[in-house]
Amino acid sequence: MAKEKFLLWMLAGIFTYQAAIFSMATYYCAVHGGLKVCPEIGQRYDKTFDIMVATTLALLSGKVLNKE
């Protein structure tokens, strides 16, 4: 139970961090020229956090599968 709780907190932390970074990046790009300055902001955002979320979800689902 403690590992599951830790992984859920880790997942929540990743989503919180992800939202904060994306908000700061969007603000920076909006202030400094929009898409001319940051043309690939969406792709960079996806690449940065895909691995962290996938790994955490895999660990969480693996833990659940082991219980059955």
What are the Cα distances from residue 28, in Å, to 10, 35, 42, 44, 56?
Answer: 27, 11, 14, 15, 29
pTM as predicted: 0.60
pLDDT of residue 1: 58
Sorted by where each begins, the domain ranges of the chain are 2-67
Q: What are phi and psi of 19, to 5 degrees?
A: -65, -40
Per-residue model confidence as pLDDT tens digits over 19-61? 898 888 888 888 888 777 777 777 777 777 777 778 777 877 7
55 Cα distance to chain centroid: 11
Q: Is the pLDDT of residue 67 over 70?
A: no
